A and B are shown apart, each in its own frame.
Chain A
Amino acid sequence: KAGVTQTPRYLIKTRGQQVTLSCSPISGHRSVSWYQQTPGQGLQFLFEYFSETQRNKGNFPGRFSGRQFSNSRSEMNVSTLELGDSALYLCASSLALQVSGSGNTIYFGEGSWLTVV
């Protein structure tokens, strides 16, 4: 079974531009979450989607947005990029919302490395 797939893997953008990152979850997984990883802030939750609805949102500005499609694939968008947005953006998928249920675990993709110059 294929794992969580993220594209693109690496990208460089200029301040003020916008970027869209894509995530394909493991087949059958309906929950997709996004995280930002930086050396200074660690791993921080951005948002979670389930059945095309945002279920949870972290403490990030409105420049960060996302969506989920009917096939569970997800995209996140960052508008008006700032230097501080340079980070590894990780997508994670799980079978359902109740991760505490037996057999439901969260798997991460390889991430998209974003550099803002």
Chain B
Amino acid sequence: GENVEQHPSTLSVQEGDSAVIKCTYSDSASNYFPWYKQELGKRPQLIIDIRSNVGEKKDQRIAVTLNKTAKHFSLHITETQPEDSAVYFCAATRGGLTGGGNKLTFGTGTQLKVEL
């Protein structure tokens, strides 16, 4: 089955700096890669996603890149703010009728701390 590795497990940055979180996946048939932000005691919230037919997607301060050949994707947060502090999860899925459905395989999470 799919396996998703996520690094680093903790990341501490100064406010205004950039943060990068990296994930690798094992199933070459995976074609949808969402990123979720989870604050303490809250639900995972989708912050950005990318499908396998594009290499990069950006939404204001957040961007995701995908390298299908190397089977890795990364989350980039620029101009970090204290409210960005949370646990971030990457995930992967085949997302199709022929296999995997909407089953998400998650990485182990990255605790991001943005310090003033």
Chains A and B form a bound pair: yes
Scan residues 70-117 of chain A and give those whose CB is less than 8 A from a CB of chain B.
90, 92, 94, 97-102, 105-111
Residue from A33, A42, A100 in contact with B108 in the complex, judged by beta carbons closer than 8 Å: A42
Number of interface residues of A (CB under 8 A): 28
Please give the distance in Å from A43's CB to the nearest CB on chain B: 4
Contact of A106 with B104 at beta-carbon distance under 8 Å, contacts A43-B44, A98-B96, A111-B43 already known: yes
Tell me, yes or no, whether B76 is within 8 Å of chain A by CB: no
B: contact size bracket: 20 to 34
Bits for A21-59, please: 1 = Cβ < 8 Å to B, else 0.
Answer: 000000000010101000000111100101000011010
Chain B residues whose C-beta falls within 8 Å of the C-beta of A56 in the assembled complex: 100-103
Is A99 a contact of B102 with CB atoms below 8 Å? yes
Which single residue of chain A is at the shortest CB-CB distance from B2? A45
In the complex, chain B residues whose CB is within 8 Å of the CB of A106: 34, 46, 102, 104
A72 to B96, CA, bound (A): 19
| Chain A binding surface SS class | strand
B97: Cβ under 8 A from any A Cβ: yes
**Interface residues, chain B, with chain A CB atoms under 8 Å away:** 31-32, 34, 36, 42-46, 49, 51-52, 89, 91, 93-97, 100-109
Complex A-B: 21 CB contacts under 8 Å: A33-B101, A33-B103, A42-B107, A42-B108, A43-B89, A50-B101, A56-B102, A90-B43, A90-B44, A92-B104, A97-B97, A97-B102, A98-B95, A98-B96, A99-B93, A100-B31, A100-B93, A100-B95, A102-B51, A105-B46, A105-B49
- Taking Cβ atoms with an 8 Å cutoff, the residues of A that contact B are 31, 33, 35, 42-45, 48, 50, 55-56, 58, 90, 92, 94, 97-102, 105-111
